[in-house]
Amino acid sequence: MIEKIKNLIRSLIHFLTDGIWNVDTNGIGALRGMFYKIIKAFILAYRKLDFTQMNTRAGSLTYSTLLSIVPMLAVLFAIARGFGFQNIVRSELFSYFSGQQEILEKAMGFIDKSLEYAQGGIFVGVGVVLLLYTVINLLSSIEDNFNYVWGIKVGRTYYRQFTDYVALLLIAPVFMVCNAGLMILINAASENLVIGVVLSPFVKILPFALTILLFTFMYMYIPNKKINFSAALFAGIIAGTAFQIFQGIYIDGQIWISKYNAIYGSFAALPLLLLWLQLSWLICLIGVELSFAYQNVRRFSFEKETDHISRRYKDFVVLSIMTLIVKRFAKGEAPYSADELSETYKIPTKLTSDVLFLLMEVGLIIQTPIDEGRSNAYVPAIDINRITVNFLFRKLDEHGTENLKINNKGEFDEEWQVILDIQQLVETKYDIPLTEL
């Protein structure tokens, strides 16, 4: 019996590490294909996870959130007051973050002072600008962390940060009011005995549904890239459910939390808030990894191997991608996006992103926006007739600094000459345009 269990475990491990990637999902049914895709997404996200770095990033966001919590709430309440529903926003915040009642009460005391200062400072409007800057800086930090997971090297421009984030701040109070209205409507309908029995399960599920919707929106909206709804929804379901469960555990653990009150007294709220923020951001960042893995599951199978790719193979990928971009430009066709290059030619997403960023740094390609600026395509930055094999690799070889103390004119003169001779050989033999490859 023990031997059978061992064999079963070995077979399962072999299937998850190797066999599942060889399964042909064509013709096996949509439901089964979806199941395989979800399993692959979990495996790939687990392979890519670096918990040490993720904890560091969650800690960074915790620090930024702690600094920005009062300005964020101040801006939120300023907008809500403009619409006349600040009381609804207040009750929604206390209801949703029921485990942080004490912190919210203290924060509310600072909000009026912040708004008062913003409206009546030495220079009128300077306070408002400072509040908006603090909030936009927090949202920019969140975007940077999301972009890092997606391998996006360039974030939103300052103009797009301002317009997109201000739009987000305007939408947030409206969302809270709609949520409050929906809850009032459901509670009113639940007073009817028959309707109440039908709606009772929905009332319990509603907090989960709203949290999932919120996480899904974040995963679609915040990265500077077009994210598929299915990928954002998949991650939103996992992260939103995990967050709600964590909230429940945190609230139910008030007896355990009371021990902190005995030790820290009134100061206990701060370490507990830091713990809550750290774990919340950790859940959120794991969700970003899941959305990335789900969207890129077809071209993500060899992502782990890209960290150990040989120099020869990386040179091959660089030459291949540059040739594809040049030839498509020469034909007058629509330029390649990073996703199109990865999907069409089975190049791992991270490798594609790294190569494109390198080619931009050396000045061989530039980005051109598509899809309302959320995604980018790539075109040559110079005359394509100048881009030969030799020109490409000379640009790459000379990229970076050579201002070191190694003596390449004395002790290591022969070694340096060998490098120059190899480069000269490439220049002589492969001085042909990429369009002719």
DSSP secondary structure, 253-303, as one string = THHHHHHHHHHHGGGGHHHHHHHHHHHHHHHHHHHHHHHHHHHTGGG-TTT
With 70 as the cut, is the pLDDT of residue 257 above it?
Answer: no
Q: Are 297 and 154 in contact (CB under 8 A)?
A: no
Looking at the fold, whether 36 and 100 belong to one and the same domain comes out as: no
* pLDDT band per the 50, 70, 90 thresholds, residue 287: very high
Span 385-389, mean pLDDT? Answer: 88
* pLDDT band per the 50, 70, 90 thresholds, residue 378: very high
Alpha-helical (H) ranges within 191-253 are 193-221, 229-252
Residue 156 makes CB contacts below 8 A (sequence gap 6+) with 140, 143, 164, 224
Percent of the chain whose pLDDT exceeds 90? 17
Q: What is the pTM of this model?
A: 0.71
Name the burial class of residue 162, with classes exposed (0-12), middle (13-18) and buried (19+) by CB atoms within 10 angstroms of its CB: middle
Q: Other C-beta atoms within 10 Å of 365: how many?
A: 27
Residue range 24-43, pLDDT digits in tens: 666 666 777 788 788 888 88
Looking at the fold, whether 18 and 112 belong to one and the same domain comes out as: no
Residue range 91-127, pLDDT digits in tens: 777 776 766 667 777 777 777 666 666 665 544 556 6
Looking at the fold, whether 36 and 68 belong to one and the same domain comes out as: no
The C-alpha atoms of residue 355 and residue 361 are separated, in whole angstroms, by 10
Helices and strands in the chain: count of H runs, count of E runs: 16, 3
Span 395-405, mean pLDDT? Answer: 78
- Most confident stretch, 251-255, 258-262, 395-399, 419-423: 395-399
The C-alpha atoms of residue 213 and residue 206 are separated, in whole angstroms, by 10
Question: Angle formed by the axes of helices 193-221 and 269-295, to 10°?
Answer: 70
Looking at the fold, whether 313 and 292 belong to one and the same domain comes out as: no
**What backbone torsions phi and psi does residue 55 show, to the nearest 5 degrees?**
-65, -40
The C-alpha atoms of residue 40 and residue 25 are separated, in whole angstroms, by 12
Residue 212 makes CB contacts below 8 A (sequence gap 6+) with 233, 236, 237, 240, 241
Listed range (76-85, 158-167, 194-203, 258-267) with the worst mean pLDDT: 258-267
Q: What pLDDT does 282 receive?
A: 94
Span 64-78, mean pLDDT? Answer: 81
Looking at the fold, whether 20 and 37 belong to one and the same domain comes out as: yes
Q: What pLDDT does 88 receive?
A: 76
Q: Are 309 and 351 in contact (CB under 8 A)?
A: yes
Q: Are 378 and 336 in contact (CB under 8 A)?
A: yes
With 80 as the cut, is the pLDDT of residue 154 above it?
Answer: no
With 70 as the cut, is the pLDDT of residue 197 above it?
Answer: no
Q: What pLDDT does 325 receive?
A: 94
- Total count of domains within the chain: 3
Residue 374 structure tokens: 């959320």
Query: What does the DSSP 8-state code read for residue 433?
Result: B
Q: What pLDDT does 254 receive?
A: 59
Using DSSP, state whether 377 is helix, strand or coil: strand
Bridging pattern class, strands 365-370 and 375-380 = antiparallel
Q: Are 205 and 186 in contact (CB under 8 A)?
A: no
Looking at the fold, whether 262 and 139 belong to one and the same domain comes out as: yes
Looking at the fold, whether 245 and 100 belong to one and the same domain comes out as: yes
Span 399-423, mean pLDDT? Answer: 73
Which of 299, 326, 348 lies at the terminal end of a domain, its last residue? 299
Name the β-bridge partners of 370.
375
Q: Are 205 and 189 in contact (CB under 8 A)?
A: no
The C-alpha atoms of residue 399 and residue 358 are separated, in whole angstroms, by 9
Span 285-314, mean pLDDT? Answer: 78
Nearest to 398 by CA among 347, 364, 354, 435: 364
With 70 as the cut, is the pLDDT of residue 168 above it?
Answer: yes
Looking at the fold, whether 316 and 354 belong to one and the same domain comes out as: yes
Listed range (128-142, 295-309, 323-337, 338-352) with the worst mean pLDDT: 295-309
**What backbone torsions phi and psi does residue 223 show, to the nearest 5 degrees?**
-60, 145
Q: Other C-beta atoms within 10 Å of 208: how many?
A: 15
CATH code (residue 361): 1.10.10.10
Residue 122 makes CB contacts below 8 A (sequence gap 6+) with none
Q: Are 268 and 261 in contact (CB under 8 A)?
A: yes
Higher pLDDT, 143 or 125: 143
The C-alpha atoms of residue 288 and residue 218 are separated, in whole angstroms, by 9
Looking at the fold, whether 247 and 341 belong to one and the same domain comes out as: no
Looking at the fold, whether 204 and 283 belong to one and the same domain comes out as: yes
Domain span including residue 22: 2-48
Using DSSP, state whether 369 is helix, strand or coil: strand
Looking at the fold, whether 333 and 200 belong to one and the same domain comes out as: no
Residue range 198-233, pLDDT digits in tens: 666 676 787 788 889 989 999 999 998 888 899 999
Looking at the fold, whether 370 and 420 belong to one and the same domain comes out as: yes
Q: What pLDDT does 144 receive?
A: 92
